[in-house]
Amino acid sequence: MELFSNQETSQNLLPYDGEVFYHGILLDTLESEKFFTDLLQKIEWYHDKAIVNGQEIETKRKVAWYGSREFSYTYSGVTRIATPWIEELLALKQLIELYTDSMYNSCLLNLYHNGEEGMAWHSDGETDLLENGSIACLSLGATRKFVFKHKQTSEKREFDLLNGSLIEMKGVTQKHWLHQIATTKKISTPRISLTFRQMKPVFYTLIGTFHALEAKT
C-alpha cells in the first residue's frame, strides 16, 4: 500500500484508471474551527439510513444533504431530498470552486463523532451524479485515513485527510476505484466532511427518463 504525501500537488495521485488531486490546506486552524462549530450548530443533521439485506438500518454517523434546488439523491437504497444552501456552505463552495476550477450544485455532509465511525468501501457512481464529474471533499476536524482500492487489481492508495484540506476525485475514478474512511479506536474527536458534487441538471434527467420510457414502448 502506497502512502500519499500531504503536500499540495498538481500530479494525479492514482497510478491508473482515475484522477485524484490533493489541493492542500485551504483553511487555517482558526478558520477550520469556526466553520466546524457553525456547521455543527446550523446544519440539519440526521442519522444516515441504508437498506441492507432488505432491512433498513440507521448509522451512528450523521449526514445532511444540501443543494441549489431540491435534488433527489439515492444511495444505499434510500432517497434523500436536498435542503437549500446556508451561508457557510455557499462560502465554502465558492472557495472550493476556485481551487478545482469546477462548479458544484450540491453537498453531502458527514459527521463522524469519533474514529469508530467510518465509511465502508464504496464508489460514488450513482446515476444522479454527472458522469465522470468532479467530487471535492473538504475535511474539518480530526485527521482520518482515506483509502482507495482498485476494483480489479485490489491495489491500494492511502491518504491522511487533514483539518482544512481538500481532495478532489474526477474522471473515471468512480468506475474503477472504491474508497473508504477507515475506522480506528485511536481517534476520539469528531470530523465533518463536505463532499461537493455535480448533480445532473434537471434537463438531462428528464431526457434520460424519456429515453427509458421510449425504449419500453
Average pLDDT over residues 23-28: 96
- Calculate Rg over the CA atoms of the chain: 17
Which residues have CB under 8 Å from 167's CB, separation 6+? 20, 21, 22, 23, 136, 137, 139, 146, 159, 161
Three-class SS of residue 94?
Answer: helix
Per residue in 99-142, pLDDT (tens digit) is 999 999 999 999 999 999 999 999 998 888 899 999 999 999 99
Which residues have CB under 8 Å from 13's CB, separation 6+? 4, 20, 21, 22, 157, 159
Q: Enumerate the domain spans of the chain.
A: 22-216
pTM for the model = 0.85
Per residue in 157-179, pLDDT (tens digit) is 999 999 999 999 999 999 999 99
Which pLDDT value is given to residue 77? 73
Cα 150 to Cα 32, 121, 122, 129, 167: the distances in Å are 32, 11, 11, 21, 18
Q: Looking at the domain that runs over 22-216, which CATH code has it been given? A: 2.60.120.590
Three-class SS of residue 150?
Answer: strand
DSSP state for residue 199 in the 8-state scheme: B
